[in-house]
Structure 1
Amino acid sequence: MKLKTLAAAAVLALGTTGYAFADDQSFDAGSIPLSPDMWAQTVMHQAGSFTDTFTFSIQAGDLSSSANPLNVKLGNVDVFNISNLSYTIWSGSDNLGTFAGDNTTFTNTLAAGDYVVKVMGDADGAMGGTYGIAMQLAAVPEPETYAMLLAGLGLVGFMSRRRNTNEKFA
């Protein structure tokens, strides 16, 4: 019984403080860093539908991104809850894909340039909702790297073949 009373008191206390977060928000994520670093943001919303916009730029590489609801429940009360969370990645007017915001990771090789991520959902908790989004960029190997790899494999094969030939005649 005390837990229910405590949860109700917490919800009422937090509910009377007002909201310090907006419905639709825009963020400039700047340049997404190369792996192992990443860019991440946590966003809070009051109850209702929202569409957030994140603008960013990248060097050429494999972009991995994920958006996930951060739901909080006290007893039977959804304090922070987001349903129908999804995000879309745009390059200019080209939609590169829409993905569920349920720990699904989008990974695609992208050219250097400016991009936009739009996150949509419904904040339907007693205090609204909150979610997290993260992006990371892995560098794409240059053609010279592949040439060096093939040359190295060729040398290893040559040395292996040479040793086998020397062993037969010894």
Structure 2
Amino acid sequence: MKRIQTVMAALMLTGAAGLPLAHAADISQGVHTLDLSAGAAVLMHEFGAGNAGNTFSDRYNFTVDGGAALGALVGSLDQASLGLGGAGFDSFKLYNSAGLSLDGARQSAPGAAAEVWTLSARHLVPDSYYLLVSGTVRNAAAGNYVGSVAISAVPEPASYGMLLGGAGIVGWLARRRKA
């Protein structure tokens, strides 16, 4: 009798080990390379219907050739009653080529119907960077997230020096003419 119980227990454990585990699927996009030559680019990921609970971690590569300031945002609208699927974001980060990161900031309450995250960096040096958008699809309706990233040149310190020098010369010339 003891032997039958042992064999049955072994068979049940073997059967349980063979069952598929239920977990969220990874629906991440491939790596995207952004063209910021015009100063801005769009981030976007569309989810098909039936992806509720699935996760994503999307990477957007770009390079900065000179000193630059960066502003980025990402958002999603979750309205299942209207047939709109949305994303709940776990993180929005900027990484450089050395792996150092800067975290984005959530601008909406966690779990809000419209979720928005922003990120800004004032002094990016010439390097390769990437934005990483991670989260979970909230409901089974088809939906997406969208965002944008913009960079602008940061004036060199010499530019400010030339500006002050020019203002000083104009002031000196104005005073000289008065005299």
TM, length-normalised to structure 1: 0.69
Is 1:67 the counterpart of 2:67 in the alignment?
no
Matches of 2:152 and 2:90 in 1, distance apart?
Answer: 25
Measured after TM superposition, the shift of residue 42 of structure 1 is: 1.9
1:34-113 paired onto structure 2 within 5 Å: 37-45=39-47, 46-47=51-52, 48-60=54-66, 61-69=68-76, 71=77, 73=79, 76-77=81-82, 79-100=84-105, 102-113=116-127
Q: Quick one: distance in 1 between partners of 2:125 and 2:100? A: 14
3-state SS of 2:145 partner: strand
Letter in 2 for 1:59: D
Distance 1:79 1:143, change over 3 A: closer
Displacement of 1:128:
4.7
Conserved 8 A contact 1:68-1:133: yes
Aligned to 1:29: 33
Q: Is the 8 A contact 2:93 2:104 kept in 1?
A: yes
CA distance in 1, matches of 2:58, 2:117: 18
RMSD: 2.4
Summarize the Cα distance change of 1:77–1:31 in structure 2 as closer, same or farther, 3 Å threshold: closer
In the TM superposition, what is the alpha-carbon distance from 1:120 to its structure 2 partner?
0.6
For residue 163 of structure 1, report the CA deviation from its aligned partner.
4.4
Gaps of 5+ in 2: 1-25, 107-115
Q: Which residue of 1 aligns with 2:172?
A: 158
Structure 1, unaligned stretches of length 5 or more? Answer: 1-21
1:120, 1:78 → 2: CA distance?
22
Q: Kindly state the Cα deviation for residue 83 of structure 1 after the two structures are TM-superposed.
A: 1.6
Give % identity: 23
SS at match of 2:139: coil
Distance in 2, Cα, partners of 1:118 & 1:112: 19
**Candidates 161, 165, 172, aligned match of 1:147:** 161
Q: Does 1:120 align with 2:134?
A: yes
Which structure has the greater CA radius of gyration? 2
**Greater percentage in strand:** 1
Contact 1:66 1:105 in 2 (8 A): yes
Aligned-partner Cα distance in 1 for 2:158–2:60: 34
